[in-house]
Amino acid sequence: MRSKLVYHIKSKHLGMRYSCTQCQYTFVTKSGLNSHIRHIHENVPRYKCEQCGKGYSDRSNYVDHIATHSGVKLNMCSICQKQFKGKNQLWYHVRTKHVGRRFECTQCQCTFASSGGLKQHVTHIHLQLSRYKCEHCSKRYSNRSNYYDHLATHTGARRNVCSICQKQFTFRPGLKAHMLHFHPNKDAQL
């Protein structure tokens, strides 16, 4: 109780502030400033995973990460009961599937969670500004990497190779997940 009173007096009546010299944030306590410097500017994580060593400065991100090791899904959508390992995944699901502004294509009535998604759809589907066309199924891509990833679904080619263990992946996200899980502390090229 006493510490809250001291905090209140310092911040509201005495105007005492400790300023960060690197980014101009101010703090009422010296310990608050020191914690900020350690975790923001010196990048020292507050929470460290005992299984893989990955560090987090935010507790909720750390808890979400721990769940990925156990496979336990902690966050449930209250609308459809679908479960997610992380709060960010749940937030994105609710935003894109249940609430928020919907952006509808005037040509085909497809809906999107963002104006950027709608713009990309119109550009690639209706305006057909996509430079790369699949010779197997006629799908179009404006991004060469996405085009080659798509081709791999027809040919079985695996373009994404782990530079540490040589494991091959059809898609880049598979390689990224592999690197995070099996080689988290390695400086490998993706």
pLDDT of 132 > 60? The answer is: yes
Residue 107: what residue type?
Q
Sign of CA dihedral 188, 153, 120, 77: negative
Ranges assigned E (strand) in 32-149: 47-48, 55-56, 75-76, 83-84, 103-104, 111-112, 132-133, 140-141
pLDDT of 128 > 70? The answer is: no
Q: E strand or H helix at 53, and its extent?
A: none
How many Å apart are CA 161 and CA 188, to the nearest integer?
11
pLDDT of 43 > 80? The answer is: no
Separate counts of helices (H) and strands (E) for the chain = 7, 12
pLDDT band at 38 (very low <50, low <70, confident <90, very high): confident
Residue 100 · residue 93 · CB < 8 Å: no
pLDDT tens for 53-62 read 888 777 777 7
Name all domains of the chain by residue range, CATH numbers in brackets.
Answer: 2-41 (3.30.160), 47-97 (3.30.160.60), 103-155 (3.30.160.60)
- Assigned token pair, 9: 């007096």
- Assigned token pair, 112: 């999107």
Mean pLDDT for the chain? 76
The pLDDT assigned to 11 comes to 63
